[in-house]
Structure 1
């Protein structure tokens, strides 16, 4: 099993459709005893939350977000945790909106602090 996601910050490697999560969005993950949750913000997302479970390298969670235009949306996502060769973590995601039409795949990767 890949290491814990607790305290990791991840970001999408590519932009999704306009008005959704994008490369400026940052997810801060937490993990404890098979539970996962995260807060996210950035880009068109003012505030987002996700909550779910982890079994091995599989995450299963629901997400809800508030966008800059004042609308809310929610959906379901299943992710696979992948350890990258450089030691960072990648999540390969398959998601589907529940509050509107649409589904797809995305990849988020651990953000490392810039070196000084």
Structure 2
């Protein structure tokens, strides 16, 4: 299915993780390779593709081959919005394992529709499959976890640079927290820090629309808003000593995972 949607990067990743968890994944045994064809494709070929010089088939590797691959078959549920899936998976695998990938797509209406063969160097197979399996894990049950949460500005103080037009996109892994934020007077901002239970200590820097850079530190507290949502209460200190408090509210009240 090819869909068009407007999302923040964290919202896209949250949706695509849900797609991956709902998808039937099979890591194929053995090694595979591309072979040039001089006649009909062999019966065990998974795919054929043509260029100006003729046909090539993706087949099981036999004997010595120049470039053996591992394969993972992904069969998507019918009607699911998997737009951006290949770009996200390939970028994530490159960042975490160093491996590039290729993809061969097909369609089978009797099994829901689109399916993909994801290929990667055989030597990277264990690492690639480990990342895919990790991405399929259910989200954390930690109600205070910040990974893939989007926050909006609920309250500010006089020393604040942010406004109701500013949005924060958080990521968290093993207690390490980072966020990007922009909107209103802030052209681009970044914060990094660490979360311990409901307390987040951070350092931040940002550039405003005029190109002026500022930095500071902050201590954030995570708390409920009384309606089942999540608030971040931030006490910040600019590098020039100015202080203030911001209150951020999780968009939609829940994590988009």
Instruction: Give the TM-score taking structure 1 as reference length.
Output: 0.87
Shift of the alpha carbon at 1:96?
0.3
- 1:90 and 1:31 map into 2 onto residues whose CA distance is 16
Distance 1:78 1:2 in 2: 19
Q: CA deviation at 1:15?
A: 4.3
Say if 2:228 is the partner of 1:90: no
2:185 matched residue in structure 1: 44
Q: Which has the higher contact order (CA 8 A, sep 6+)?
A: 1
Q: Say which of 215, 226, 229 aligns to 1:74.
A: 215
| Rounded Cα–Cα distance in structure 2 between residues aligned with 1:22 and 1:60 | 21
Contact 2:160/2:244 (8 A) holds in 1: no
Structure-1 separation of matches of 2:155 and 2:144: 24
Give the aligned partner of residue 20 of structure 1.
Answer: 161
- Corresponding residue to 2:206 among 48, 52, 65: 65
Separation of aligned partners in 1, 2:232 and 2:156: 15
Answer 1 or 2: which has greater strand percent: 1
Instruction: Give the deviation of 1:97 after TM superposition.
Output: 0.1
SS of match in other structure, 2:161: coil
**CA contact 1:29–1:36 (8 Å) conserved in 2:** yes
Aligned to 1:11: 152
* Stretch moving more, 87-96 or 69-78: 87-96
Compute the RMSD of aligned alpha carbons.
1.9
Structure 1 unaligned spans of 5+: none
Larger Rg computed on CA atoms: 2
Query: Which structure: greater helix fraction?
Result: 2
Count of paired positions: 112
